């Protein structure tokens, strides 16, 4: 076969058309053009939105196994935590039931011992639930107003407490509201007892000054047995506060060589900031028997009082006749 009759054209599979370098330049220019157009005129947003909408079912379908795997792990972990919490709750319930049983036994024993010794039963303090309305306008005092007053059975001098301890005392009474002076006020004072040493003293407010004043123990000897961390509670001997209510905790003791008294700083047990609901207790002095009136000495009465006593005695004897 002569060579001139051969077909020298390449088959369709080997036809390349433009060179690879030319195609690279064209596609690079097209990519740059699309990026510039998208950045300036957002021309690709409709195409991108259409593609995302079309591919969303595919993405969700591919994510189902991953979500099922992660959800199964979370379910098993949550189930394990729930079982652990249930076990802890059952253990705490058992401990509380034991403590409640012991408390009932101690209460019955207390009643039996009091009846055996012919002592008065423990006082049951009445309480009135109240809500704090607002703070006093005086920036130099620590006082709040509650929504209970004289018409609700609140009396002046009533202690105000919450679940943490003593907050203050009612110092001013109105028909529907009452003013409560907090323990951190500079004019507040409360008799306390050290739970560790059973030593009685008095705690005063206004220590440190500033926006958040604290408390302090005053008139304590420099060698008094007071340590940081000691808990102070109400003694119940003042006729106002029931015994055993938490008042404060000792935070610092400064013993000075040049002074006979120690400087003892306290942190109140019940922080007034953030408190919304409180209990107003009835002073225990209202439930105590009246104090017997002591007879006045004759020399203390004076001549006029002695003559009046004689005339009263004579009048009484004449009336008896």
pLDDT for 313 beyond 60: no
Q: How high is the pLDDT of residue 34? A: 82
With tokens 């919490």, the residue in question is: 85
Contact criterion met (CB below 8 Å) for 234 and 161: no
Tokens of 154: 């609140």
pLDDT of residue 272: 80
Average confidence (pLDDT) over 111-131: 75
Work out the mean pLDDT of the chain and round it to a whole number: 80
Give the closest residue to 298 by CA, choosing from 308, 310, 306: 306
CA 278/CA 245 separation, integer angstroms: 14
| pLDDT value of residue 320 | 40
pLDDT of residue 318: 42
- pLDDT higher than 60, residue 160: yes
Residues 6+ apart with CB under 8 A from 282: 125, 126, 127, 153, 155, 158
* 279: β partners: 129, 161
Q: How many CA atoms lie within 13 A of 253 on its CB side?
A: 17
**For 301-312, what is each residue's pLDDT tens digit?**
444 443 543 444
Query: E strands of 113-211, at which residues?
Result: 127-135, 143-146, 159-162, 165-173, 178-182, 189-194, 200-207
Q: 239 pLDDT band (50/70/90 cuts)?
A: confident
Task: Give 155's Cβ-side CA count (13 Å radius).
Answer: 11
The rounded distance, in Å, linking the Cα atoms of 93 and 90 is 5
**Has residue 167 got a pLDDT over 90?**
yes
Classify residue 290 as exposed, middle or buried by CB count within 10 Å of its CB (0-12, 13-18, 19+): exposed
Residue 184: is its pLDDT beyond 80? yes
CA 310 to CA 303: how far, in whole Å?
10
Is the per-residue pLDDT at 10 higher than 70? no
pLDDT digits (tens, 9 = 90+) for 138-159: 777 889 999 999 999 899 999 9
CA distance 267 to 185: 13
Do the beta carbons of residue 268 and residue 165 sit within 8 Å?
Answer: yes
Task: Answer for the pair 190, 202: CB distance below 8 angstroms, yes or no.
Answer: yes
- How confident is the model over 24-73, as pLDDT tens digits? 888 899 888 888 887 888 777 888 788 888 888 888 888 888 888 888 88
* SS3 at position 248: strand
User: CA-to-CA distance for 158 and 281, rounded, in angstroms?
Assistant: 6
Q: By percentage, how much of the chain surpasses pLDDT 90?
A: 25
């Amino acid at each position: 076969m002569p060579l001139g009759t051969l077909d020298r054209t390449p088959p369709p599979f080997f036809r390349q058309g433009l060179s690879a370098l030319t195609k690279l330049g064209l596609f690079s220019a097209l990519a740059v053009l699309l990026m510039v157009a998208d950045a300036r005129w957002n021309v690709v947003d409709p195409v991108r939105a259409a593609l995302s909408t079309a591919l969303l079912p595919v993405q969700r379908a591919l994510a189902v196994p991953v979500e099922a795997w992660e959800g199964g792990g979370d379910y098993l972990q949550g189930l394990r935590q729930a079982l652990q919490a249930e076990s802890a709750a059952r253990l705490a319930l058992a401990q509380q039931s034991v403590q409640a049983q012991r408390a009932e036994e101690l209460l019955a024993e207390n009643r039996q011992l009091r009846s055996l010794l012919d002592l008065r039963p423990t006082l049951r303090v009445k309480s009135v639930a109240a809500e704090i309305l607002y703070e006093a306008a005086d920036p130099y005092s620590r006082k709040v107003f509650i929504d209970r007053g004289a018409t609700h059975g609140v009396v002046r001098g009533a202690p105000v407490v919450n679940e943490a301890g003593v907050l203050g005392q009612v110092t001013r009474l109105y028909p529907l509201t009452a003013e409560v002076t907090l323990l951190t006020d500079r004019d507040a004072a409360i008799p306390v007892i050290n739970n560790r040493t059973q030593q009685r003293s008095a705690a005063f407010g206004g220590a440190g000054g500033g926006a958040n004043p604290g408390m302090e123990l005053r008139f304590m000897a420099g060698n008094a047995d007071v340590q940081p961390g000691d808990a102070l509670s109400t003694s119940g001997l003042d006729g106002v506060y029931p015994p055993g209510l938490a008042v404060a905790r000792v935070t610092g003791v400064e013993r000075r060589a040049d002074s006979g008294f120690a400087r003892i700083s306290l942190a109140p047990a019940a922080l007034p900031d953030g408190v919304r609901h409180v209990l107003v207790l009835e002073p225990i002095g209202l439930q105590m028997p009246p104090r017997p009136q002591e007879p006045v000495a004759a020399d203390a009465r004076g001549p006029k009082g002695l003559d009046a006593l004689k005339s009263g005695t004579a009048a009484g004897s004449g009336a008896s006749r």
